[in-house]
Amino acid sequence: MRSRPGAQHQSAECSIASCVVRPTTAGPRQGDTSGRKRKRSRAQRDAEPGKKHMGGPKSQVPTTKEFVIYSCNICGFNKKKFATLMDYTRQVPPAAMVLTETNLSFTHTPDYVEEAGWKIYTVCGPSKTGSRADTNTGGVSLLVRTGSVKVKTDILMRNESHQLVTWALSNSDRGFTPGEYRAQTGI
């Protein structure tokens, strides 16, 4: 049996090891008397360094963007505290904020939050009793920049003293798909 240059033959129990053969375009092929160069395939031509690819699909290189989240026990969310929070976060603006002990009795986004470019996802805590029965205690909220991510809220538990919620954030335009963030208060 004749062996080819670059190939290794081993015993019957082992496989034949392969080698990498790079095509050459320097001259005519061995045994070719026409004097013409061997034509390269399109893949070989496109693999040349520095060659710009025209037409054809462009490969999308995944990008990584920092996703900054702040967390704060706000002890009652209101317009003044929101403005103060915006001042504190001005140096390194977050993509999202998790607020605990919001004491909110509603789940809609207040106008002053919307005007600042934010959307709020709230899980209210239990209602207070007595003369303050119109307000709530506890509660957790997620603030995200309007249009920055898609948020799916899943309330895992809510009783007279605890809230446990999962917020699944996703947006392929930002180059990330975080799994989930679980917020729990009152424990």
Predicted TM-score (pTM) of the model is 0.58
Q: What is the pLDDT of residues 132-141, one digit of tens each?
A: 555 678 889 9
Q: Give the C-alpha separation, 35 to 151, whole Å.
A: 66
> Structural domains in the chain?
69-185 (3.60.10.10)
- Per-residue model confidence as pLDDT tens digits over 25-84: 445 555 555 566 677 777 777 666 665 555 555 566 666 777 889 999 999 999 999 999
Model confidence pLDDT, tens digit, residues 100-156: 989 888 899 999 999 999 999 999 888 777 665 556 788 899 999 998 888 999 999
Torsion angle defined by CA atoms of residues 134, 185, 82 and 121, in that order, rounded to the nearest 10 degrees: -80
In angstroms, rounded to a whole number, what is the distance separating the alpha carbons of residues 71 and 143?
A: 10
